[in-house]
């Protein structure tokens, strides 16, 4: 395939340096207005493109993929998670899927750590008091949070991001515990002084803070179900920078409302951009608009990865970040 003539359709506005490079390399159709495409617009894009560059906001389910044109050969996702794409259907139709892992690990871990600190230390509540001009003077018993150091952090999903969170959390004096499909190497466990829990249920019952860092797959959908959330101690906090679907959001909101949990820091939601209205009313909850990996540097690196995947594919090689159904 000749990369120069390759028709690529990018569904959202990307940083300028990425778009400039895409224009140089490909016959690139960009989305200057950054308007999210609806299902019909996605089908039309998949019919006229050799390569589609979607993001988390584009739902490419089996119904839509069934209407992709013969021309579409590659879906080069701008993002690490691919839960918006029915990968099995795409692969069956001979479409290669790639993603952008690795380059957003540290930024996402930073944001996770920010929430691990913000919720128990009530940072947003403090900010709101200043904004409302309600700071009338210091008092020894006012706005008391909970100490972070010495607490047990249970990380669900010890991949790249989970490990990067563990490294930061360890520096803040947290004790690292984790649950993962597979136990990580002894060398990594030793570096992080991490305790492996084969049973998620048993881990949850013993943690002070839980951080969700696993991808959303059919196996992790509502992994934190109402039953599992009920295993947490009432003083426990939950942080999620992965995918909203991993937690039963209504069950979580109900428990937070009834004070069966101490608080939550959420950067992702089950029905984004909709958020359970109960969550917005609670003082012990910090909500962010899916900005875990939102740094300029990270977005440029993601774009660079997308370009490398497309170029390699166009040159007839296996793209470095190919996603295959057995990986999910």
Q: Is residue 293 within the footprint of ligand 8YV (CB under 6 A)?
A: yes
Q: Is residue 295 within the footprint of ligand 8YV (CB under 6 A)?
A: no
243 is catalytic: yes
CB of 68: closest distance to ligand 8YV in angstroms? 19
Phi then psi for residue 175, to 5 deg, are -90, 130
Tokens of 33: 């207005």
> Cα–Cα distance between 327 and 17 in angstroms, integer?
31
Q: Are strands 7-10 and 51-53 parallel, antiparallel or unpaired?
A: parallel
3-state secondary structure (DSSP) of residue 147? coil
Q: Considering the candidates 19, 125, 272, 304, report the single residue annotated as catalytic.
A: 272
Are the beta carbons of 219 and 157 closer than 8 angstroms?
no
117 Cβ neighbours under 8 A, 6+ residues apart: 123, 148, 172
Q: How far is CA 262 from the centre of its chain?
A: 23
> Cα–Cα distance between 26 and 5 in angstroms, integer?
6
Q: What does the per-residue mask of binding to ligand 8YV show for 77-96, with x meaning CB under 6 A?
A: -xxxx---------------
CB of 32: closest distance to ligand 8YV in angstroms? 18
Q: Is residue 269 within the footprint of ligand 8YV (CB under 6 A)?
A: no
Radius of gyration over alpha carbons of the chain, in Å? Answer: 21
Are the beta carbons of 139 and 114 closer than 8 angstroms?
no
Phi then psi for residue 222, to 5 deg, are 50, 40
290 is catalytic: yes
Are the beta carbons of 167 and 178 closer than 8 angstroms?
no
Q: Considering the candidates 160, 206, 290, 322, report the single residue annotated as catalytic.
A: 290
Q: Is residue 104 within the footprint of ligand 8YV (CB under 6 A)?
A: yes
Q: Is residue 115 within the footprint of ligand 8YV (CB under 6 A)?
A: no
Q: Is residue 55 within the footprint of ligand 8YV (CB under 6 A)?
A: yes
Q: Is residue 244 within the footprint of ligand 8YV (CB under 6 A)?
A: no
Where do runs of H (alpha helix) occur along the chain? Answer: 16-25, 39-48, 62-65, 87-92, 105-118, 123-131, 160-171, 186-192, 200-204, 226-229, 249-257, 277-281, 296-314
240 vs 293, beta carbon nearer ligand 8YV? 293
Q: Considering the candidates 122, 243, 270, 299, report the single residue annotated as catalytic.
A: 243
CB of 17: closest distance to ligand 8YV in angstroms? 17
CB of 261: closest distance to ligand 8YV in angstroms? 24
Count of residues touching ligand 8YV (by CB under 6 A):
9
Candidate segments 31-39, 73-81, 168-176, 244-252, binder of ligand 8YV by CB under 6 A: 73-81
208 vs 267, beta carbon nearer ligand 8YV? 267
CB of 227: closest distance to ligand 8YV in angstroms? 26
Candidate segments 74-82, 166-174, 220-228, 231-239, binder of ligand 8YV by CB under 6 A: 74-82
Tokens of 127: 């900010």
Are the beta carbons of 243 and 272 closer than 8 angstroms?
no
Q: Is residue 303 within the footprint of ligand 8YV (CB under 6 A)?
A: no
> Cα–Cα distance between 108 and 114 in angstroms, integer?
10
Q: What does the per-residue mask of binding to ligand 8YV show for 210-229, with x meaning CB under 6 A?
A: --------------------
208 vs 321, beta carbon nearer ligand 8YV? 321
Q: Which residues make up the interface to ligand 8YV (CB under 6 A)?
A: 55-56, 78-81, 104, 292-293
Catalytic residue numbers, as ranges: 243, 272, 290
């Amino acid at each position: 395939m000749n990369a120069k003539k390759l028709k690529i359709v990018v569904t959202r506005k990307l940083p300028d340096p990425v778009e400039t490079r895409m224009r140089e390399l490909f016959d690139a159709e960009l989305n200057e207005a950054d308007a999210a495409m609806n299902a019909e617009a996605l089908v039309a894009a998949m019919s006229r493109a050799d390569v589609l560059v979607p993001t988390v906001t584009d739902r490419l389910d089996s119904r839509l993929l069934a209407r992709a044109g013969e021309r579409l050969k590659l879906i080069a996702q701008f993002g690490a998670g691919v839960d918006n794409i029915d990968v099995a259907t795409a692969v069956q139709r001979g479409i290669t899927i790639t993603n952008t892992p690795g380059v957003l690990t540290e930024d996402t871990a930073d944001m996770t750590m920010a929430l691990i600190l913000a919720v128990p230390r009530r940072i947003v509540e403090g900010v709101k008091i200043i904004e409302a001009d309600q700071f009338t003077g210091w008092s020894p018993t006012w706005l008391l949070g909970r100490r972070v150091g010495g607490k047990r952090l249970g990380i669900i999903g010890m991949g790249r991001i989970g490990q990067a969170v563990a490294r930061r959390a360890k520096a803040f004096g947290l004790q690292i515990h984790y649950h993962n499909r597979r136990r990580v190497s002894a060398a990594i466990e030793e570096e992080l002084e991490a305790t492996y829990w084969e049973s998620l249920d048993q881990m949850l019952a013993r943690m002070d803070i839980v951080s969700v860092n696993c991808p959303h797959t059919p196996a992790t959908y509502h992994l934190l179900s109402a039953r599992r959330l009920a295993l947490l101690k009432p003083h426990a906090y939950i942080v999620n920078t992965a995918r909203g679907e991993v937690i039963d959001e209504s069950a979580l909101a109900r428990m937070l409302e009834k004070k069966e949990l101490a608080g939550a820091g959420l950067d992702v939601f089950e029905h984004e951009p909709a958020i359970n209205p109960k969550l917005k009313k609670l003082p012990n909850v910090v909500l962010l608009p899916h900005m875990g990996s939102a740094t300029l540097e990270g977005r440029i690196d993601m774009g660079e990865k997308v370009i490398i995947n497309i170029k390699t594919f166009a040159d007839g090689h296996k793209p470095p970040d190919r996603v295959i159904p057995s990986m999910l």
